[in-house]
Amino acid sequence: MNNNHSDDQLGRARVKSSPELEAYYKELEGLGAGALWTVANDIEPWEPRSYSVPMLWKYDELRDLALKSAELVTPEQAGRRVVYLVNDNRKAVSAAVGWLYTGIQVTKPGESTSAHRHKASALRFIMEGKGGYTVVDGHKITFEVNDFVITPNSTWHEHGVAEDGETCVWQDGLDIPLVNALEANDYAVYDGKQELKYPVNYSVLNYGNSGFYPTHENWNKPYSPLFKFEWKKIYPALVEAAKVNPINAYDGVKMRYSNPITGGHVMQTMGASMQLLPAGFSGKRHRHTGSFVYQVAKGSGYSIIAGKRFDWKTRDIFCVPSWAWHEHHNASDTEDACLFSFNDLPVIESLGLYQEQAD
């Protein structure tokens, strides 16, 4: 292998045009064909190439607008009352980065949506409010700020906030653009609301204790039987993990939300992590394939992504495109910072497409 990335070498397409060739190309075109060498260097890049740009969405700017949606439309009209975040270069596919969609959903006390399902998978990361819940295939799951909740592929789901709750805001993450691109999405509406088939938070009570699972179930679905990952457990776990593990030069202390009966990703198409940047952490840069959407769960700092600096604080959302160099910095010398992120690593990994590079 050589490291010369010039297209003017053996092994790359280096055909010079000529009238004869142009005529030939025309003839091919008429038959629904083309000469590979006219596009080869373009479709076979030397390195992974992303179509997205890095972006940051400041919650200070978006919050009021998101809340305003609650005055403008009802859930009944909108289906879901969501402000979605779109990458400047991915508007055609409504993606925040790569093939990942993200949005901010607002639900007022007493509101609830009707149920639906789709081949796209979904996840939620809770930003504000009290009394929020989701119902996934008959499982009601209550949630609090910084909890992480999954809604796997083809499960019936609906959301709401208790009458005595407070307006809830959460981030939705979906692979809608990917599933559309793969020409496999579908959609169905439920007649009304789901019946609760399990006690509230059943999945947490049965699968929320590491290595201690029910013998009466034989879970064989391709996603985590644990539907909620609670911040009240996650943050202390992260703090303790930070004490006993080496601090990674790029990522601080990074733990993966995992399927507790496979150790793998929580769903087939999207994964998620929480990482702690210790006080004063100043990360090195690296890059890897896979697209990432971050939400700042705690603290403030900045990231340099593809050479551009993005300052963030709690609740801000930003993205890192595939193969973009990136580094994270905690702005505080006394407080840790926590970054939630979700990604398409299950896709990238299961198809054998992961690679990374340190600077």
- Residues 153-182 interacting with a second copy (rule: CB under 8 A): 153-154, 176-177, 179-182
Distance CA 252, CA 242 (A): 8
One residue of 54, 107, 118, 173 binding a second copy per CB under 8 A: 118
Residue 309 identity (one-letter amino acid): R
Check if the beta carbon of residue 157 is closer than 8 Å to that of residue 135: yes
Nearer to a second copy by C-beta: 110 or 184? 184
Query: Does residue number 61 form part of the binding site for a second copy (CB under 8 A)?
Result: yes
Binding span for a second copy by CB under 8 A among 130-138, 276-284, 305-313, 341-349: 341-349
Nearest by Cα to 82 from 97, 101, 99, 100? 101
Asked if residue 352 binds a second copy (CB under 8 A), the reply is yes
Least distance (Å) between residue 216 CB and a second copy: 6
Residues 30 and 41 sit within 8 Å (Cβ to Cβ) = no
Signed CA dihedral, 229, 231, 233, 236: sign only? positive
For position 256 contacting a second copy by CB under 8 A, the verdict is yes
Q: How far is the CB of 232 from a second copy (least distance, A)?
A: 11
| 263 half-sphere exposure, CB direction, 13 A CA radius | 1
Q: Which of residues 299-338 bind a second copy (CB under 8 A)?
A: 321-323
Per-residue three-class SS string for 220-242: CCCCCCCCEECHHHHHHHHHHHH
The stretch near a second copy (CB under 8 A) out of 130-138, 205-213, 279-287, 303-311 is 205-213
Size, binding site for a second copy by CB under 8 A: 147
**H or E segment to which residue 63 belongs:** helix 59-72
Q: Shortest Cβ distance from residue 347 to a second copy (Å)?
A: 6
- Residue 73 CB, shortest distance to a second copy, in Å, is 5
Binding to a second copy, residues 85-114 (CB under 8 A): 85-88, 93-94, 98-99, 101, 103, 114
- Is 196 a residue that touches a second copy (CB under 8 A)? no
Q: Which two tokens stand for residue 40?
A: 């080869």
